[in-house]
Structure 1
Amino acid sequence: MFEELLDDAALTCDGHDCDRSLAEPALVFETDAGRRAAYECACGAVTVTVCRPESSR
């Protein structure tokens, strides 16, 4: 499921006045509760995504 979300999502930076595309996460943390990924942008901002499995919703 996580792979489907990542394939369909066009991740962009959440930094102020920045809309750069984000590629590979700098840090990924996975547990039974879900997946968290941190993306570092060239502008210096860090964007964090959180994906939960459907079974935990």
Structure 2
Amino acid sequence: MLERLTATCEAAGCDRALDDGNCMLEMERDGGVRRAYECDCGAVTVTVVDPSR
């Protein structure tokens, strides 16, 4: 379910969409897949997707 949601940058004054184009790092761990996105505004957002859901 979460992989279908569109993540957005939550930096003050920014609401740009975070997508594969700005995914800078992806790491798979036992607890899920972590992705780090760098927005054009310079903020970094990290998401975690639980593989069991």
TM-score of the two chains, using structure 2 as the length reference? 0.78
Cα separation, 2, equivalents of 1:23 and 1:54: 22
Identity of aligned residues (%): 49
Higher helix share: 1
Cα separation, 2, equivalents of 1:33 and 1:23: 21
Cα separation, 2, equivalents of 1:49 and 1:12: 11
CA RMSD, 1 decimal: 1.7
Which entry has the higher C-alpha Rg, 1 or 2?
1
Cα separation, 2, equivalents of 1:5 and 1:51: 7
TM-score of the two chains, using structure 1 as the length reference? 0.74
Higher strand share: 2
Deviation (angstroms), 1:18: 0.5
Total equivalences in the alignment = 51
Structure 1 residue ranges, 4+ long, deviating more than 3 angstroms after superposition: none
